[in-house]
């Protein structure tokens, strides 16, 4: 039986906010969607079954980390990333460009060869060209594949950002060619250009000419302010193709997500809910809670008395404070689940309010609270 083709449809709009559906052969994804980050073939401190119970419909893996450990052949030999990590959800894999910039001990960018870098784990040298990045992602059997791009650090140097953007466009063409024809998979282009309006628009238009299944905004969440990020999205919101998914990479806080949805973004990923959960920061509808704080030692109320998922409201702030202050693993597990569950509740409420034409009111109620 032929595999279902990748497809995207807009079901409803509320100004720029969009209610949509991504169809894949592994299942549908309601948008706006948040993707928990499973960098190394696991969402830290969670099982896949628990991730599914939160309402998550897609997760993210990473080419850079998986090529280093455990190695692509080890995953390919078992049938791909889904089989390796026992996950039947769709998986999007990042190309590794961001990690080359942020993690490698030593890296060199070569226009033709790609990224030449030393592993942050053991110093071993790796080569990651656009073609190799796509080959790895296809071997992982990802459902949504990202092009290889260069993700520069934040800078006001226009010429440096322009040169980097040009390199990413060159690699985008090579990535698309290496991807070939895979109708049941998708390949997304990545818009670069820093904080410069003209470069962002140029990058997007040239990526549209190449023709991708979706368009991601990269090069953000690298130190810019929220207002700077929203300004970039404001420049792009009238130019992004209406019939393709819009993905803001590596973002972010609940208020980041609300502001980005208001500007036409459909997909998000971020380590914040899991990383925060491991360090004692909980996201709730009443705001953020640092559960390590001494004031919770005698607070026997739950993080969220309305939470019914996983019966997380059975655990008091008092008990969670104890778990974190004694470095018990259960604390990280419970807060991570709480945070991912909260993020998925947020996405569900966003979709509900777009459907009801009340998104602006919902946005205004929570933009400064969450």
Q: 9-276: what fold?
A: TIM Barrel (3.20.20)
Instruction: State pLDDT tens for residues 315-361.
Output: 999 999 999 999 999 999 999 999 999 999 999 999 999 999 999 99
Q: Would the pLDDT of 98 be above 90?
A: no
Rounded CA-CA distance 145/200 in Å is: 21
Rounded CA-CA distance 27/214 in Å is: 17
Domain ranges of the chain: 9-276
Confidence of residue 113 (pLDDT cuts 50, 70, 90): very high
Confidence of residue 104 (pLDDT cuts 50, 70, 90): low
Closest CA to 210 of 224, 189, 231, 193: 189
Q: Would the pLDDT of 109 be above 70?
A: yes
Active-site pick, 14, 50, 94, 256: 94
Confidence of residue 105 (pLDDT cuts 50, 70, 90): low
Residue 94 among the catalytic residues: yes
Across residues 227-241, what is the average pLDDT?
A: 98
Active-site pick, 50, 149, 266, 269: 269
Confidence of residue 311 (pLDDT cuts 50, 70, 90): confident
Confidence of residue 1 (pLDDT cuts 50, 70, 90): low
Task: Centre a 10 Å sphere on the Cβ of residue 174 and count the other Cβ atoms it contains.
Answer: 18
Instruction: State pLDDT tens for residues 48-85.
Output: 999 999 999 999 999 999 999 999 999 999 999 999 99
Higher pLDDT, 30 or 151: 30
Question: Is 34 in contact with 60 (CB distance < 8 Å)?
Answer: no
Share of the chain above pLDDT 70, in %: 98
Closest CA to 337 of 285, 283, 296, 301: 283
Residue 128: is it exposed, middle or buried by C-beta count within 10 angstroms (0-12/13-18/19+)? buried
């Amino acid at each position: 039986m032929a595999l279902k083709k990748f497809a995207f449809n807009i079901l409803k709009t509320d100004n720029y906010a969009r209610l949509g559906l991504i169809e894949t052969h592994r299942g549908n994804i309601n948008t706006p969607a948040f993707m928990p980050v499973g960098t190394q073939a696991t969402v830290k401190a969670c099982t896949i079954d628990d991730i599914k119970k939160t309402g998550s419909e897609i997760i993210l893996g990473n080419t850079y980390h998986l090529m280093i450990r455990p190695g692509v052949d080890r995953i390919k030999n078992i049938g791909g990333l889904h089989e390796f990590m026992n996950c039947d959800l769709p998986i999007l894999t990042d190309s590794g460009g961001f990690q080359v910039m942020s993690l490698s001990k030593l890296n060199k960018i070569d226009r033709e060869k790609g990224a030449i870098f030393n592993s942050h784990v053991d110093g071993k040298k790796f080569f990651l060209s656009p073609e190799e990045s796509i080959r790895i992602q296809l071997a992982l059997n990802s459902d949504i594949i990202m092009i290889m791009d260069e993700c520069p650090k934040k800078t006001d140097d226009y010429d440096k950002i322009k040169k980097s953007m040009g390199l990413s466009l060159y690699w985008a063409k090579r990535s698309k060619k290496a991807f070939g024809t895979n109708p049941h998979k998708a390949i997304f282009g990545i818009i670069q250009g820093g904080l410069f309006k003209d470069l962002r628009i140029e990058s997007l238009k040239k990526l549209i000419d190449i023709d991708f299944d979706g368009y991601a905004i990269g090069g953000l969440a690298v130190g810019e302010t929220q207002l700077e990020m929203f300004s970039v999205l404001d420049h792009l919101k009238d130019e992004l193709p209406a019939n393709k998914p819009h993905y803001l990479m590596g973002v972010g806080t609940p208020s980041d997500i609300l502001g980005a949805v208001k500007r036409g973004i459909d997909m998000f990923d971020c380590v914040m809910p899991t990383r925060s959960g491991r360090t004692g920061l909980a996201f709730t509808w009443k705001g953020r809670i640092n559960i390590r704080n001494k004031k919770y030692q005698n607070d026997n109320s739950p993080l969220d008395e309305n939470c019914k998922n996983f019966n997380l409201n059975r655990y008091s702030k008092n008990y969670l404070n104890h778990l974190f202050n004694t470095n018990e693993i259960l604390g990280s597990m419970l807060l991570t689940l709480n945070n991912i569950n909260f993020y998925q509740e947020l996405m569900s409420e966003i979709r509900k309010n777009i459907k009801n034409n009340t998104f602006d009111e919902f946005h205004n109620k929570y933009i400064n609270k969450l």
